[in-house]
Amino acid sequence: MRQIIGYVFALGMALVLWSCGTADDFEAGNRLVVAKIADTSGSTAPVFLAVEKTDDSGLDGDPDTNDEGEGDGFPDPTETVEEGYELGPDLGVVTVRNEPRPGVEEGVPLVVYRVDITYLDATGASRAFAPSRTQWVNVEVDSGGSADIQVVLVPVEMKTREGGLRHLFLFGTEEQKAAVRTMTAVVDVYARDVLNDDSVHDQGRIVLTFINPMESAKPE
């Protein structure tokens, strides 16, 4: 009798847990697929600036005067930042597909409404200067179709805030720089089947490489 009661209790708990939420909460008649994550040029292995590049003219801001800071490979605040090497946000494109599930005769459109990005350093750790970010979007994807969603892959604050990428590249130890030279962006995309009020989710990843252009050439 005790075994029967235990079985009934376990079955009841399983039903409660199932009703409170499982993976099925994120299943709809159509499947959302993160097909590609890239920068705006289409590269799936993007290289971004962690430090601005200046003319390295030194503290007086004039080249060829042999003053302090000239030619030292360090971006002094009095130096002119070269065009195209300013620090700013880095944009990306998330390509998603709307795929009907097997056995579903008629597909439905999905509306992508949210993109979350979580950042991990080379050791797999999250960093205070790179908190997770949510970007709200409104992109409809027809059944069997695909869509490109532009997002901010790297906000400028990740570079410029205290203890951020710029600080680590300029003042950090080799170990500290190695930990952030490549970072992984984990991209979670959420969509809704508005006809049936069902939600669907998929995840992708992209490795971001950061450089100091005063030391390494920026790729063309």
Each of the 220 residues of the chain gets a pLDDT tens digit; together they read: 444 334 333 444 333 333 333 333 455 679 999 999 999 999 999 999 999 999 888 776 666 666 666 778 889 888 889 999 999 999 999 999 999 877 666 789 999 999 999 999 999 999 999 999 999 999 999 999 999 999 999 999 999 999 999 999 999 999 999 999 999 999 999 999 988 889 999 999 999 999 999 987 665 5
Q: Do you know the residue count of the chain?
A: 220
Write out the residue range of the structural domain in which residue 112 sits. Answer: 28-51+87-211
Taking the C-alpha atoms of residue 126 and residue 139, their distance in angstroms, rounded to an integer, is 29
CA distances from 202 to 95, 109, 176 (A): 12, 16, 32
Of the candidates 61, 59, 60, the residue with the CA atom closest to the CA atom of residue 80: 61
Asked, for residue 81, whether it belongs to a domain, the answer is no
CA distances from 197 to 65, 112, 192 (A): 68, 13, 7
Asked, for residue 141, whether it belongs to a domain, the answer is yes
Q: pTM here?
A: 0.82
What residue has token string 């990306």? 92
Asked, for residue 179, whether it belongs to a domain, the answer is yes
Domain count, the chain: 1
Is the distance from CB of 210 to CB of 39 less than 8 angstroms?
no
Asked, for residue 165, whether it belongs to a domain, the answer is yes
Give the model's pLDDT for residue 199. 92
Q: The domain that contains 108 carries what CATH number? A: 2.60.40.10
Residues 6+ apart with CB under 8 A from 10: none
Asked, for residue 95, whether it belongs to a domain, the answer is yes
Q: Within 13 A of 30's CA, how many CA atoms are on the CB side?
A: 29
Give the model's pLDDT for residue 20. 33
Asked, for residue 62, whether it belongs to a domain, the answer is no
End-to-end CA distance of the chain: 75
Asked, for residue 65, whether it belongs to a domain, the answer is no
